[in-house]
Amino acid sequence: MDSLWDFHIHSGLSPCALDEMTPNNILNMALIKELDGVAITDHNSVENLNSFYHLAKNKDIGFLPGVEITTREEIHVLIFFEDLTPLDYLREVLKRNLPDIENRREIFGSQLIYGMDDKVITEETKLLTNATRLSFGDTLDLAKEIDGVLIPAHVDRKSFSVLSNLGFIPPEFKGKFLEVSIGTSKEAFYNTHPAMKKYHLLQNSDAHQLTAILEREGANYFNIEQHKSILQSLK
């Protein structure tokens, strides 16, 4: 079965995302754009995943729980997992390792936690865009603990990427995929970084507003029947 996905979308919980990024708005937009599935990857928090997970089942669209963690090296990594089983554990790990710095919503934006009806349940007060105390290696271990998948985010960027901040892919990373920004040419990236040709490249929207979510023509294609699930496709 063909399946087209956008694996990097921020809800209104991420302070850099617009408040329009509610569960119903995001999933409805994905359906309008004829995507088969999406992942929500908020900065250093999993607090909106429960609403998205259950709402996606009602709307008959694929959903993969995820999170975008900022490591202590200021590298952005995406971690995906099959279902909500590790949610409490991830919540505890992230809260313990995120600096206790209060969000200033007038500067950084609001950090909204939604119910399935898009009503705001509460607002996260700790600033989510700071680097955590987790190293890149720690996040690899975390992904393994929850039987998840880690993918280094937007490795083509000049900041907040594993290549910009370390200059190389650590040998302990055994994954098959890297993410590059949507405006980047895969061919040009491989030409600039020939050592990266052993990896497959994902291009996601990194959407912070509804219109930025990928169109079907630009989405990531997988044949789900080959791997049983979208998570297995990424392993």
pLDDT tens figures, 144-189? 999 999 999 999 999 999 999 999 999 999 999 999 999 999 999 9
pLDDT tens figures, 50-88? 999 999 999 989 999 999 999 999 999 999 999 999 999
Domains along the chain? 2-234 (3.20.20.140)
Q: For helices 49-59 and 23-32, give the axis angle rounded to 10 degrees.
A: 40
Cα separation, 215 vs 1, in Å, equals 19
pLDDT tens figures, 79-97? 999 999 999 999 999 999 9
Helix (H) or strand (E) run with residue 96 in it? helix 87-97
The pTM of this model reads 0.97
